[in-house]
Amino acid sequence: MRIGIIGKTNKEEVFEIARELCSWLQERNIEVYVEKELGKEMGHPNSIPPTELPELVDVVIVFGGDGTFLGVARLVCKYDIPILGVNLGGLGFLTEIAIRELYPMMERIISGQYSVEKREMLYATIHRGTVDRIGDYVVLNDVVINKGAVARMIDLALYINGSHVANFRADGIILSTPTGSTAYSLSAGGPIIYPTLPLTIITPICSHTLTNRPLVVSSETTIRIKVLSDTPDTYLTLDGHVGVTLKMGDVVEVMKSDSSVKLIKSPFRDYFEILKTKLMWGERYGAVEG
User: Do residues 252 and 224 touch, judged by C-beta distance below 8 A?
Assistant: yes
Give yes or no: 155 in active site. Answer: no
Active site residue: 58, 66, 233, 250, which one?
66
Alpha-helical runs (H) found in the chain: 12-27, 36-42, 66-76, 102-111, 184-187, 271-279
What is the rounded distance in angstroms from the CA atom of residue 121 to the CA atom of residue 176?
Answer: 9
Closest CA to 21 of 114, 79, 96, 105: 105
Other beta carbons within 10 Å of 265: 17
SS3 state of residue 121: strand
CA angle 186, 189, 194 (to 5 degrees): 45
Is 219 exposed, middle or buried (CB count within 10 Å of its CB: 0-12, 13-18, 19+)? middle
Closest CA to 254 of 78, 164, 121: 121
Contacts of residue 108, Cβ cutoff 8 Å, sequence gap at least 6: 114, 267
Is 76 exposed, middle or buried (CB count within 10 Å of its CB: 0-12, 13-18, 19+)? buried
Closest CA to 244 of 231, 235, 255: 235
* Catalytic residue positions, numbered: 66
